[in-house]
Amino acid sequence: MNELERLEAMLRAQPASLTIEQRRAASDALGDLFPLAADVCVEQVEAHGVQAEWTSTPVASTSEVILYLHSGGYVWGSLKSHRHLVSELGRTATMRTLALDYRRAPEFPFPHALEDAVSGYRFLLDSGFKPRQIAVAGDSAGAGLAVALLVRLKELGTQQPACALLLSPWADMTATADSYSRNAKRDPVLNREIMQFLAEQYLGKRSRETPLASPVFADLSGIAPLTIFVGATEALLDDAVALTRAAGLADVSVRLEIWPKMFHVWPTYHQVLAQGRQGVARAGRLLREAVEAASSGEG
């Protein structure tokens, strides 16, 4: 087996019937499996009431920042589970990162995570960063939350950040996309059943088409430029395609990259997967280019 096949086999071997607490523990275990590079600096901070942490490497500029929103279906995932990914994304973008430990469902259902994302963005503004110096990024549910954040900032009359990077975005909580069936045997991570469960934890009795939870149904006009990465074997492939279409029809600048043979949020495994390293490097480069373009556009 090659490294991709070994990793997919490991992911398929994960037990399907875990409790929420067991899944939270398993997610946090990624932080132990993939340790930080020795030159990464981590600093805990409270971002307007939200627990968060800065990470930086020696190459990081102090004048730009990535606001990162982790995955986990709004139910699991944490600063610990994503620290290795966030710090390396910051390295390749030559930017500091601020990752948010937003409140999770079912203890804190919609819209708590979104409220925390808004607080994190305002914290950066109040810390002296200009909107054009801020990039928003996230993976899976965190990517959907990133788009919801942009829409909510527009509603609040707050200036948009320079851009948003979305890794394998979960953008439609109806879980009706054809790729759930089409890629059912190919996706080693997600399936329709688990996504329906997560949507129930986050939204409860609310409509699965709630725009600030399922941003494919939101008015995306006027939001920041989007860059979307998705794997060709993902159950969420059609979410990324639908989000790209919705953004394009709303006259939003959007780039979609479909990576052949890749599974859900493959850059998470950059320490053991060549395509993961390539994904992090490319994502960081595109973030850097977008922030520089935003800065030059404002003179």
- Choosing from 70, 82, 84, 264, the catalytic residue is 264
Nearest to 161 by CA among 296, 297, 299, 294: 294
What is the mean pLDDT of each successive set of 10 residues along the chain, which is 299 residues long? 90 87 94 93 98 98 97 98 98 99 99 99 99 99 99 99 99 98 95 97 99 99 99 98 99 99 97 98 98 81
Q: Decide: 173 and 199 in contact? Cβ < 8 Å.
A: yes
pLDDT of residue 296: 86
Whether 264 is catalytic = yes
pLDDT of residue 232: 98
pLDDT of residue 298: 57
The CA distance from 42 to 136, in Å, is 19
Q: Decide: 150 and 223 in contact? Cβ < 8 Å.
A: yes
- Choosing from 27, 70, 234, 270, the catalytic residue is 234
- Choosing from 140, 168, 179, 214, the catalytic residue is 140
Q: Decide: 81 and 70 in contact? Cβ < 8 Å.
A: yes
Instruction: Show the domains of the chain with their CATH numbers.
Output: 3-297 (3.40.50.1820)
How many other CB atoms are found less than 10 A from the CB of residue 228?
24
pLDDT of residue 40: 98
Whether 140 is catalytic = yes
Single pTM value for the model: 0.97
